[in-house]
A and B are shown apart, each in its own frame.
Chain A
Amino acid sequence: MNGWSGTILHIDLTNKTHRFEQPDSETYETWIGGKGLAGYYLHPHITRSWDDPEMPVIFMDGPLVGTASPTSGRMCIMSRSPLTGTVGDCSVGGSLGTELKKAGLDGIVITGKSDQLIGIEIIDKSITIRDASTFSGMGISLLYERQRGNGAVAMIGPAAENGVLFSSIVVDGSFAAGRNGIGLVLASKNLKYLTVKGTGRVAVHDNIGLKQAREDIFRQVAATPVLMGEHGIAYYGTGALYDLMDSRRMMPTANFRMTKFKSAHRMNASALNKKYSPKRAGCKGCHILCKKVGKGGTHIPEFETMSHFSALLENEDIEIMVRANALCNEMGMDTISASSTLACYSEITGKKLTGKQIISLLLDIGRGQGRGKELGQGSYRYAASKGQPELSISVKKQELPAYDPRGAYGMALAYATSTRGGCHLRAYPISHEILRKPVATDRFSFAGKARIIKIEEDQNAVVDSLTACKFVFFASSLEEYARVFTAVTGVHSTAQDLLKIGERIYYNERIMNARNGFSSKEDDLPPRFFKEAGSSGSNIKIKPLNRKEFLKARANYYKIRGLDENGMPIKEKASLLGLKWENHKGSELQ
């Protein structure tokens, strides 16, 4: 095989055994890898509870990982989300994907539960399970220092060990598989860390073809201001988006009660750059390098984190923003959910949080103590326990990122239809609604958005399966990546062939969610967005979303996606996509 290594490792933590599986080429070609293949392995278990020992956690590479393909260092981690109950997955960078591939593995499926805290250490195909009880409660940075000699490191922090529903898995000390709380699934298995070191090489079918396709992509990336422009994410990190969101009046402020933050100009990426003079860093195999590390190793927050730890909490202290980010990383918890849960708490209690309170509440959450215990359950469960679930600004119980949906209607629809709950990355319509890529669309209109969102969800499912970084798609498209895929694997493919697979992958997720009872009822936004206006001004009007138009767009989406009017999968569509049709209990339907 080229691109793929042809081997999947299965580890059973209950019995401390492992085996190697060699899937046939059809399985690979049907699911590509990454998120697609992970979904294939997750599906049979999806109706289990997330803490059922048999629930797998899946680490999966795509065929492009470890090759010269641009942004080839990403991978997918998937399980069932403790936070949302949906399929739960994250694309994550760092070096884990690359090391895994060099070890001759496409992925690892971990099931079972250890009776004490352990770590898994992999060197090529040799697997060692070690006692990790001395690392119990250890923060990310120290654990990383201890383990980095063993290659790439994926680990959980104290938050996961203390039951935080939005705890993350952190790779190489700072690359977070942040969303959906999948860190908690590792904790439920008593697995503190995983290290991988590989010494092999990834076979490529056609090196010349790969080089050509790669140059095409480099050229497009260079021509894209948001990436390589002098104020683009290569130089300012994803925080480059901050000023734009503010000027477009869609920066969620005060728990989404406003959409413009008066101190934004003092908290932006330019202010961070001045203060910390960061260097460029990033995932293995990437030339964009969107991560920023300041003097003394300070990690500069990403856009979502910057926005939520400033505007959403009305915090005007840039150092608190940076410290909050560092603390979430250290504890191993998702910055979006953490900040948004604090904002919800602030609104319910009617108290604006001081910088000191923000830090101490985050500590409490990570340590599972005091008020942190209830806040660690996420904003939805917290708000519901106070009788005000509508003040949790979440979809499917997962907190929304830093794009106010009243300022980008495609984003509104995409938040609602996302299979992992409140997430901007399933479709990322910000690309055309705000960043004008590939061309601009009218951000205040639902017209045409249903099909666009469906196509983008399919596309991003492919990107997360190849695997590549979504950022490169501001510049490039599947047209170029299909050539990369063909050159790497030798399997001839076009952009449209890949999109078809993306459609299968996404529909598979809809089926998995349906089997857990998800329907149109959950494909919805918090009532605030339909009732309250955002902060209008400078000729921009931020109106409440029109509920009727939203529902019409969602109905269109269902039709285009091939779902029934309740958002439920349809047998004919499933079989058209080559998917098995199962009822809610998991047995085959007639």
Chain B
Amino acid sequence: MKQLVDKYVNKLVSAGLAEEGAPLLGGLDAELVWNRSDPACNELEEVFGALNINSLLFSKPAEPYLSIIEYLAKGADKAIHPNDSETRTFMHDLPVIRDFKSRQITGALKERKSVIIPGYGIVTWGTVSPEQAFIFYSSVCFACFVKFFSDYLTEVRNGTVSKEQARVFERVVRQLTPLPEEPPVLMHGRFRLEEDVYRAISEAGRATVKHHLVDSFFGNVSFRYNNTLYISQTTSSLDELEGCIDPCPLDDSSCTSITASSEFTAHREVVLRTGMNAVLHGHPKFSVIISMDCEKEDCKFRGQCHTRCPEERFVKDIPIVPGEVGTGPYGLCHTLPPAMEGHRGVIVYGHGLFTVGQSDFNEAFTNLLNIERMCSDEYFHRVGV
């Protein structure tokens, strides 16, 4: 348990979600272990006592998340309500309380996966692994980031930006990590061995996480080789794909895809329709934010954009399509593949970006990076910076 606890503390720091020394993560089997001792442990142990859980994470987020979350929490009544797909599918809303007291924390965590306590930080939990606590924490940061920038853009348009909001915006923008100038050089195709396919997928996943083009365990990577789609598994972390790639035959002769990414069908349709072999999917933040910016005020589908948007939307040459995670009636597996034909990438509304490449991941990664850069430039153009 200690090993797992330490692993996710380190991941929080390396992902830029918390400063070194900030996270406090406890794991409980028969005994409770913390990554370090801290006066806050007492309060949190009471939370442990009151909930049927096996891990608990408390941390102050690193900048720029800290400023963003503090700002959003201040204006929130009982919860923050982001509109991105991670929140919609998994988190629902993000409760906020005012005191770092076990009773209040317990009350909030009884109902939801996270709680934000302004001035203190974020608390999340897991029932089977500290990894869940890490994922929930990371989703809170991601969702708040997207909401903050989306709200700001809307308010700029409406001319309703408050002084404080403008101040926070400026501070946050100063603290953004810039995108790399050049994409990293990844393994070159054409791949001759199955082993190379596995290595190339793992490498592409790691590069996507390293350059902050996806958060926590979201995103997925696949490559077609010998009529089989090799694809990252569901709930796998893109920076740890070794041993987490499923070979799924394209002729339906096996059901191994049940542990594959929930976007298996979308990936498969994309390679079949486009003739490309590499598919990369991340959640780069400005692509997500831009996808949610629509000026059609009087649209009758407002509030249902993520499933019902009837418009052909683009940011420059990149289509934006509606679609939910998976294969439901509004699943992105219906909207993404046709949109991908003739394009280097497609953004799914409020969710993330898919890109393709022919013989290896260099092209797909370059597309991911360049489209995110374009969306970021577009965003700052739209807000007038």
By a beta-carbon cutoff of 8 Å, the part of chain A in contact with chain B is 216, 218-226, 228-233, 236, 239-244, 247, 265, 268-270, 432, 434-441, 447-452, 455, 458, 479, 482, 494-497, 499-500, 503, 555-556, 559-560
- B16 near A: Cβ within 8 Å? no
- Measured in the bound complex, the distance between the Cα atoms of B127 and A219 in whole Å is 21
What is the CA–CA distance of A298 and B113 in the complex, to the nearest angstrom?
Answer: 44
Contact of A270 among B217, B253, B325 (CB under 8 A): B253
Residue of B29, B53, B217 near A439 (CB, 8 A) is: B217
Cα-based distance from A482 to B112 in the complex (angstroms): 11
Q: How far is the CA of A222 from the CA of B248 in the complex (A)?
A: 19
By a CB distance below 8 angstroms, the chain A residues around B253 are 265, 270
Q: How far is the CA of A223 from the CA of B327 in the complex (A)?
A: 7
> Which of A224, A231, A458, A555 lies at the interface centre, i.e. has the most chain B CB atoms within 10 A of its CB?
A231
Is the beta-carbon distance between B262 and A438 smaller than 8 angstroms?
A: no
Q: Which residues from A are CB-within-8-Å of B51?
A: 496
Q: Mark B241-262, 1 if CB is under 8 A from A, else 0.
A: 0001000100011111111111
Residues of B within 8 A of A (CB): 1, 4, 27-30, 50-54, 88-90, 92, 106, 109-113, 126-129, 131-132, 135, 217, 233-236, 244, 248, 252-262, 264-265, 324-331
Given contacts A228-B328, A270-B252, A448-B54, contact A440 B236 (CB under 8 A): yes
Beyond the given A229-B258, A435-B258, please list 15 additional residue pairs across the A-B interface where CB-CB is below 8 A: A222-B325, A222-B327, A225-B326, A230-B264, A230-B265, A265-B254, A270-B252, A436-B233, A447-B29, A450-B29, A451-B30, A452-B128, A455-B52, A494-B111, A495-B110
Q: How far is the CB of B110 from chain A (nearest CB, A)?
A: 4
Closest chain A CB from B57 CB (angstroms): 14
CA A217 – CA B45 in complex, angstroms? 31
Which 6 pairs of residues, A with B, have the shortest CB-CB distance?
A: A222-B328, A556-B30, A223-B325, A223-B326, A494-B110, A496-B110
Report which of A268, A439, A500, A503 forms a contact with B235, defined as CB distance below 8 A: A439
Enumerate 27 A-B pairs (CB-CB under 8 Å) in ascending A order: A216-B92, A222-B324, A223-B325, A225-B257, A226-B259, A229-B257, A229-B262, A244-B256, A270-B252, A270-B254, A436-B233, A438-B128, A439-B126, A439-B131, A439-B235, A440-B131, A447-B29, A448-B4, A448-B27, A450-B30, A479-B112, A494-B110, A496-B51, A503-B52, A556-B30, A559-B30, A560-B30
CB neighbours (8 Å) of B260 from chain A are 225, 229
- Bound together, the chains give a CA A204 to CA B217 distance in angstroms of 38
CA distance A268 to B127 in the complex (A): 33
Are B327 and A230 within 8 A (Cβ)? yes
Contact of B254 among A216, A220, A243 (CB under 8 A): A243
CB proximity of B49 to chain A, nearest CB, Å = 12
User: Which residues of chain A come closer than 8 Å to B236, judged between CB atoms?
Assistant: 436, 440
Contacts of B92 on A, CB cut-off 8 Å? 216, 479
With known contacts A243-B254, A268-B255, A439-B217, A224–B129 Cβ distance under 8 A: no
Bound: A437/B129 CA distance, A: 11
In the complex the two chains form, is A240's CB within 8 Å of B258's CB? yes
Query: Which of A221, A223, A432 sits near B128, CB closer than 8 Å?
Result: A432
Complex CA gap A233/B217 in Å reads 24
| B372 CB, min distance to chain A CBs, angstroms | 23
- Asked if B328 and A231 sit within 8 Å, CB to CB, the answer is no
- Knowing A436-B234, A439-B131, A448-B29 are in contact, say whether A218-B254 is a contact too (CB < 8 A): no
CB pair B128 A231 closer than 8 Å? no
Judge whether B111 and A436 touch: CB under 8 Å.
no
A448 to B3, CA, bound (A): 11
Please, which residues of chain B bring their CB within 8 A of the CB of A265? 253-254
Closest chain A residue, CB of each to CB of B51: A496
Q: A447 to B50, alpha carbons, bound, how many Å?
A: 22
A231 touches B257 (CB 8 A): yes
Nearest-neighbour CB distance to chain B for A464, whole angstroms, equals: 17
A37 CB to nearest chain B CB (Å): 21
Q: How far is the CA of A568 from the CA of B236 in the complex (A)?
A: 39
Question: Bound state CA distance, A218 and B331, in angstroms?
Answer: 11
Instruction: Tell me if A225 and B234 are in contact (CB < 8 A).
Output: yes
Residues of A within 8 A of B254 (CB): 231, 243, 265, 268, 270
Q: How far is the CB of B78 from chain A (nearest CB, A)?
A: 15
Residues on A with beta carbons closer than 8 Å to the beta carbon of B128: 432, 438-439, 441, 448, 452, 455
A-B pair count, CB < 8 Å, reads 170
Q: Give every chain A residue within 8 A of B1 (Cβ-Cβ).
A: 447-448
- Inside 8 A of B330's CB, which chain A residues have their CB? 222
Q: Which residues of B contact A436 (CB under 8 A)?
A: 233-236, 259
Per the bound structure, the CA–CA distance linking A230 and B261 in Å amounts to 12
Min CB distance A42 to B, Å, is: 24
**Docked CA distance A451–B112 (Å):** 20
Q: Among the listed B127, B248, B326, which residue makes an inter-chain contact with A455, where contact means beta carbons less than 8 Å apart? A: B127
Q: Which chain A positions have C-beta within 8 A of B52?
A: 455, 458, 496, 499-500, 503
In the bound complex, residues from chain A placing their C-beta under 8 Å from that of B328 are: 218-219, 221-223, 228
Closest CB in chain B relative to A590 CB, distance in Å = 29
For residue A541, give the distance in angstroms from its CB to the closest CB of chain B. 13
Q: Contact at A228–B235, with CB atoms within 8 Å?
A: no
- Knowing A438-B127, A458-B52, the reply to whether A229 touches B30 (Cβ < 8 A) is no
**Do residues B259 and A225 form an inter-chain contact, with CB atoms below 8 A?**
yes
Minimal beta-carbon separation of A505 from chain B (angstroms): 13
A residues in contact with B258, CB < 8 Å: 225-226, 229, 231-233, 240-241, 244, 435
Cα distance A496–B113 in the bound complex, in angstroms: 11
CA distance A224 to B262 in the complex (A): 6
Distance between B108 CB and nearest chain A CB, rounded to angstroms: 10
Contact A452 B54 (CB under 8 A): yes
Nearest-CB distance from A133 to chain B (Å)?
46
Are B256 and A440 neighbours in the complex by a CB distance under 8 Å?
no
CA distance A220 to B265 in the complex (A): 16
Residue on B with the closest CB to A480? B92
- Contacts of B131 on A, CB cut-off 8 Å? 439-440
Distance, CA A447 to CA B330, complexed state (A): 40
Contact partners of B331 in chain A: CB under 8 A: 222
* Contact between chains at A451 and B28 (CB < 8 Å): yes
Closest Cβ of chain B: how far from A162's Cβ, in Å? 37
* Contact across chains for B111 and A495 when beta carbons are under 8 A apart: yes
Chain A residues positioned under 8 Å from B326 (CB to CB): 222-225, 228-229
Q: Closest approach, in angstroms, between the C-beta of A269 and any C-beta of chain B? A: 5
CB neighbours (8 Å) of B244 from chain A are 440
Contact B256 A482 (CB under 8 A): no
A437 to B258, CA, bound (A): 11
- Are B132's CB and A438's CB within 8 A? yes
Q: How far is the CB of A364 from chain B (nearest CB, A)?
A: 34
**CB-CB nearest in chain B for A221:** B328
List the A side residues contacting B259 at CB < 8 Å: 225-226, 244, 434-436
Instruction: Considering the complex, give the chain B residue whose CB is closest to the CB of A270.
Output: B253
- Given the interface pairs A223-B324, A439-B132, A494-B110, the reply to whether A451 lies near B29 with Cβ below 8 Å is yes
- A449 CA to B29 CA, complexed, in Å: 7
B47 to chain A, nearest CB (A): 11
- Residues A219 and B4 in contact in the complex (CB < 8 Å), given A224-B326, A268-B255, A451-B28: no
Are B324 and A219 within 8 A (Cβ)?
Answer: yes
Q: Which A residues are in CB contact (< 8 Å) with B53?
A: 455
Contacts of A441 in B (CB 8 A): 128-129
A559 vs B29: C-alpha distance in the bound complex, in angstroms?
10
Of all chain A residues, the one with the shortest Cβ separation from B27 is: A448
Chain B residues with CB below 8 A from A447, complex form:
1, 4, 29
Q: Is the Cβ of A482 less than 8 Å from the Cβ of B111?
A: yes
A450 contact set on B, CB distance < 8 A: 29-30
In chain A, what residue has the closest Cβ to B3? A447
Docked complex Cα distance between A231 and B254 (Å): 8
**Complex Cα–Cα for A482 and B52 (A):** 15
Inter-chain contacts of A244 with B (CB < 8 A): 255-256, 258-259
Report whether B257 and A219 are in contact in the complex, using a CB–CB cutoff of 8 Å.
Answer: no
B255 and A231: CB pair below 8 A?
yes
Give the CA-CA distance A231 to B249 in the complex, in Å: 11
Docked Cα-Cα span, A285 to B263, in Å, equals 27
A479-B132 in contact (CB<8A): no
Q: A232 contacts which chain B residues (CB < 8 A)?
A: 255, 258
